[in-house]
Every structure is written in C-alpha cells, then in structure tokens.
Amino acid sequence: MPAGFTAFDVNGDIKTSAVVNLSTGVTGVLPIANGGTNASAPGSAQANINSQISITTTGNIDDLDFGNASLIRMNNSGLSTIRGLLAGTNGQRVTIISVGGGQVDLAHENTGSLASNRLHNFATSANTSLAAGCGVATYQYDGTALQARWKLIEHFQGDFIDVAYSAGNFTAGGSMTWTVDAGDQITYAYYLSGRILTVVTYLDTTSIGGTPALQLFIAIPVGFTASRKFQNVSTLFDNGVFALAYVRVSVSGTTIEIGRGDTTNLTASTNNTYIRVLIAFSVN
Amino acid sequence: MIILDATNKSLEVLLGGAITTNQLIWTASYVDVSQSTFAASAASEADGVTNNTTAVTMVAAPAASVSRQIKFLSVHNADTVAATVTIRINNGGTFRTVWKATLQTLETLQFVA
C-alpha cells in the first residue's frame, strides 16, 4: 500500500486518497466508487475515481444503478434509451460511452425515472444520442434542492446517425404529393452538437404528383423542434432540371421546408425529382 | 509520515456531527525517537473511539526531546450512517487539519507511513 491516507469501502476496496482542494484549501466530501481506485485530482475536491460498469440492456432504462462507477460502457446490441441514473453526490461525474453495436439515447427529463435521477440535456425537445460504438457524454450531478438532476456537461454524438426510412417523413404542401420510396433515401441523417442540429439528406428519383405547389417537407429527425428561423441554399433537380433551392426551418417547426429558389411551383415528375439538403439550425 | 516533535503537539480525531448508534473506532501505532541520538526508545499502540464532535486524542504529545513518528492510523465507521471525519494536529491549541472527508457506513480510513 502506498504511504499516506487511503479510504476503503465496505468491500475493502480502495475508495480514495485525495482529500484537499489544493486551490482553495477546502477539504472535500468524496464520492464512493465500488471497487474503484483513486487517480487523484490535484486542485479539485472531487476524486477522479477509476471504475466502470458495462451495460447490455436494450430498450428503456430507468433509474439505472451504475454502482457510482465513473464510466458506463454501453455495450448494447440494439437501441438503449437511458432515462435516468441513480442520484449521485454533488459534483459527481459519470461518463457514458457507446461501445456496442446499438445506438444509445439519453432522454431529457423523462418521467420514467425518479425526478432526482433524471437527465438534463442541452437539447430538450428530443433525445440526445450517442452513435453506436463512438458517442460519448458526460454528466455531472447537481444536487440543488428541488431541482437535483444529472446535468449534461459534455456530449459528442460521434457520427451522423441515419434516420430509418418512413414514408411519412416526406410530405408536400397544398394538394401536391411527394413520394419517396425506401430506395430513394440515399442519405437522411443528423448530428446534434449542443443545441445545433445538422441535417443532411440526399434523395434520388422521388416523384411529385397531385397539384404542383411551392414546398416539400422533410421531418426534422427524431422529433426535435427548431428554435429559430434558419434558411440555407441548396440544389434540386426539378423533374430532372437543375435549380437552386432554399431549405428552411421555422420557430417551433417540426419540418424542413424545401422550395425552388425562384419561388415557383415544383414540377410534377415520376422518379425524376432529386433533393439535396444540408442545413444546421438551433433546436429546442 | 506524521511526526509530533514538541510536547504541545498531539494528533486528534473528531466528527462533523453526533453519531447515530456507534462511535467510530480508531487505532494508532507510533515510534518514539530521540531527537539527539535518533535512537528509537519505544514502539506503542493506542486505540479508542470517537466522541461525536468533541476531539479525542489519538496520539498524545511526546516527551521533551523526543519525536513521535506515527506509523499507522485507522478509523473505522461502525455507525449506521455516514460520518465526516477530521484528523488534525493540535499544535498548542492551533489546529491543523491533516485529513477530512466522509466515511460511509463500514468504510475505513487508513494512514500508512
């Protein structure tokens, strides 16, 4: 055993040996980690406890008991949605990293978990995601009375996440119809950074019918809503003819609007309308 | 290593609040060394329990011209709730905190020189 002070948990495992905040001189109350060992954190009252736990559960996970580990390895094969972690001590941190083949979603203020166990994310209108095998997020516990939560302090989605095909994600204005077949959806993906959502779509050989009108609509992925009006310039092939296009979101909107740059009606086509979208905008 | 090198220096333990059921248990082992010859004159052990927020002397002050080298300390939380433990040097009435943190139930603090 190294010389100095060492605290042991109930199992006899090393708990911590860092005790003093070197910058303030204030001694700290240290969190526990079962089986953990201290890596010390000069200048901080918080011990950086090296311990980890692996989770393979898929589906919704409420009030996850992670043993106060500092690292949660999500080794899920399918989608896992974490909706809460057992409450920590003030200032306690935990990092969640995706190492499996399944996406990990982190639900904001989900009522499936006890209030003091809930996650509080940057973006509030939909889940914050970790791309399978590469996303990572860190939460820090804020034990303030009546609003105790795990607060998201860092998040890297890791990669664009593809949106599963659904015909309902593609609609049109007025009496116009827009048919996007599964094979037409070459790319439809999103990346969340803070409260900035980047959406990219690459749609080929789609069809326009009914009464031609001004706009097509693509659903903003996974239920996010826009918090500001944003517009960007893009391109489309309107019944095979190149044209500039605008792409736009509106406050509280749930769709990305696409129209010709010259604000004329789109043209009816059969498998001959091609849409390209790249837009980043703020979300709630 | 913790050294008590004057007759007015001792090592104390106290809690941040009153216990619920059981006082915390402590032990201490130390060696006395002559400050002139550096010869060890005694090797001793002390043990006891805490007294809530009242400081308890774990290692008493050495005799004159003797340095008391503390080799080992332990504090075990035998209470049913967490306890904030302070270990401090009492230097003639001036207190210097050496270690302070919370021990959960059945956790143990050890100091090894």
B99-110 residue pLDDT tens: 988 898 888 999
Tell me the mean pLDDT in the region A14-18. 51
- In the stretch 17-76 of chain A, residues with CB closer than 8 A to chain B read 19-20, 27-30, 32
Q: Does A10 touch chain B (CB under 8 A)?
A: yes
Residue A220 C-beta-side C-alpha neighbours within 13 Å: 30
Residue A234 C-beta-side C-alpha neighbours within 13 Å: 25
What are the distances in angstroms from CA A177 to CA A127, A181, A213, A216, B39? 30, 13, 9, 9, 98
Select from A3, A5, A30 the Cβ nearest to the Cβ of B102.
Answer: A30
Q: Which residues of chain B make contact with A29, given a CB cutoff of 8 A? A: 84, 101-102
Q: Chains A, B: CB contacts under 8 A, how many?
A: 51
Number of Cβ within 10 Å of residue A86's Cβ equals: 15
Q: Which residues pair with A209 in a beta bridge?
A: A177
User: How far is the C-alpha of A125 from the C-alpha of A111, rounded, in Å?
Assistant: 14
pLDDT at A2: 61
pTM of the model: 0.62
Tell me how many degrees the CA angle B7-B11-B16 measures, rounded to the nearest 5: 145
More confident residue, A239 or A46: A239
Categorize the per-residue pLDDT at A15 as very low, low, confident or very high, splitting at 50, 70 and 90.
Answer: low
Complex-level ipTM: 0.74
Domain architecture of chain A: domains with CATH: 1-41 (no CATH), 50-156 (no CATH), 161-282 (2.60.40)
More confident residue, A197 or A11: A197
Q: Does B89 touch chain A (CB under 8 A)?
A: no
Is residue A7 scored above 50 in pLDDT?
Answer: yes
A108-135 residue pLDDT tens: 999 999 999 999 999 999 999 999 999 9
A231-241 residue pLDDT tens: 999 999 999 99
